[in-house]
Structure 1
């Protein structure tokens, strides 16, 4: 009985990770609410949202909501997505990203800042340690704490990546580079410093998805490639509420 109880408890408190949706599911999550309201979206606009969000469920909802509110007619265009991106990035910077950032200790923030300097995707943990001027064994405890907090993950031994899209750009553009240049600060020997423009990261995201027309040049779009969990998930879309 004790063995069965333990197994039940483990199952009860086991939460599946939700990563990027499959493309067909991500498209359905956006197209469903739009069609239900009798509206449409340009293919270029839809593709741009999928690229910007990396099909991350929370971001799909955010971009869908903002694009819906920005559009003045029953057709959501790539230009609407450009404007929605500016709005969505600001919201993420002020809320989603900021909350995650503030959960971390100064040493954890410096580790993430160093990781972000390598750009999007997966990077070797040893390279991050080298960037900090420290040994891999010295930064191991900080890395493990970040993994437990869900800030980063290790797709395979020795590799490290951020768990959500766009967060590397937030760290790279909005957080002072001084956080990652002084090895002594990783261990809390000196007070942490924060950039005055911590949440003003829009100007740093300059790449424009190829699917946006030439006249749409959002300064806030960045194409990122973050490895996400491929575990199948059930995604139920929520209608986008247009602000009155």
Structure 2
């Protein structure tokens, strides 16, 4: 069988959907209330809502919401310092991100003389400083943060610190940042703090005794779209790009995606390309790409997620797949023939990796769409 190269078309080249991880879709739906609350928090000094946790399973749009919060900050002339919360992030914030924030601030050239005790790397704009002490004190993250906030406050602007992929394994570093943030908040500094991560990691951080002020933070729990929101997420990008999306196609797209935001973008993107130069995306276009969409989930979600699990956790997950909805933890332990403590260790690993959730005491549920079907198929083929 010979291979033919399909002709290029404007439709294929310019898909309006964005199925990449962390990529903001052209039309964001279902998060307006959260965006409004964050905007109000920035507008009111000393108001509530400037400390926010964004949590949810993989693919529900945590990073996308951080991107939108960046846009909210920019609309208020606030500066955003963004960092992945991987090991060493405190050093990166102190030595690079905060100096870069100053570098983007137009006014800093005129107020160099006010910058006391803050040492910035010479390669980041060559900003010079003066020090009014002879001690050997090494400025820490809080010192740098407060110096930046003082400068921004003078010019009626502020700073948003946004941490993505927060994990409980980096709890000590996170404490360093949150201790500084708590102090800045107590001084009514122009600061907002947003952190995104999986539910198990956020729970650990919120319950940490050192960071008690975080228990008062706003918490945004992202989940799947409603059928109505799914229809909007599929229809509006196509319409804005000049293509229709008929009702039967929307219904099938909602059914296949289960409202999972990442899957919604995959379905929209593939259906758009399948429709090529057609004026409307039909149910046949969506039906033609369902298998490919599921294969993308296998490659980009299931594969990496399952590879990170221990064999015991994999067996626990496969045992859960026998139940159509929720599973009882006691019954799963019996199926595995495992001790209660061993089964609990497997359950905690699955929770930490965002594969399952615990909707109630003694119950667990698989949360990644279509993963149960995949596990059952894999089990039957074994």
Counterpart for residue 77 of structure 1: 282
TM-score, normalised by the number of residues in structure 1: 0.65
Residue matched to 2:262? 58
SS of corresponding position for 2:249:
helix
Residues 11-90 of structure 1 mapped to structure 2, 5 A cutoff:
12-13=194-195, 15=197, 16-72=220-276, 73-90=278-295
* Secondary structure in structure 2 of the residue aligned to 1:13: strand
Shift of 1:7: 9.6
Equivalent residues, number:
177
- Give the Cα–Cα distance (whole angstroms) in 2 for the partners of residues 23 and 92 of structure 1: 20
Change in Cα spacing, 1:172 to 1:26, as seen in structure 2 (3 Å) is same
Per-residue CA deviations over 1:177-204 (Å, capped at 9, x if unaligned) read 7xxxxxxxxxxxxxxxxx5xxxxxxxxx
CA distance in 1, matches of 2:317, 2:238: 37
From 357, 360, 367, give the equivalent of 1:153: 357
Q: Secondary structure at the match of 1:160?
A: strand
Residue 309 of structure 2: aligned partner: 104
Please state how far the C-alpha of 1:11 moved relative to its aligned partner: 5.2
Given the alignment, which residue of 182, 206, 209 partners 1:5?
182
Q: Highest Rg: 1 or 2? A: 2
| Higher strand residue share | 2
Unaligned runs of 5+ in 2: 1-141, 143-178, 186-190, 198-219
- The 2-side partners of 1:168 and 1:108 are apart by 14
State the partner residue of 2:366. 162
**What is the rounded CA distance, in whole Å, between the counterparts of 2:253 and 2:192 in structure 1?**
37
Q: CA RMSD in A?
A: 2.6
Q: Which has the higher contact order (CA 8 A, sep 6+)?
A: 1
Distance 1:18 1:114, change over 3 A: same
Give 4+ residue runs of structure 1 displaced > 6 Å after superposition: 6-10
- Please list the CA deviations of residues 8-48 of structure 1 after superposition, one character each: whole Å capped at 9, or x if unmatched: 69954354442111232221111111111221122111111
Report the Cα distance in structure 2 between the residues aligned to 1:125 and 1:174, rounded to whole angstroms. 22
Alignment of 1:138-217 (within 5 A): 138-175=342-379, 195=382
Q: 1:4 and 1:34, CA in 2 relative to 1: closer, same or farther beyond 3 A?
A: closer
Deviation sequence 1:144-181 (CA, Å, 0-9, x none): 1111111111011111011221111111112467xxxx
| Residue in structure 2 matched with residue 113 of structure 1 by the alignment | 318
Distance 1:7 1:127 in 2: 49
Q: Distance in 2 between matches of 1:124 and 1:46?
A: 35
Q: Secondary structure at the match of 2:360?
A: coil
Q: How many angstroms apart in 1 are the aligned matches of 2:184 and 2:323?
A: 41
Q: Once the 2 structures are TM-superposed, how far is the Cα of residue 55 of structure 1 from its aligned partner?
A: 0.6
TM-score, length-scaled by structure 2: 0.43
> Aligned pair 1:127/2:306, yes or no?
no
Match of residue 220 from structure 1? none
Distance in 1 (alpha carbons) for counterparts of 2:184 and 2:358: 26
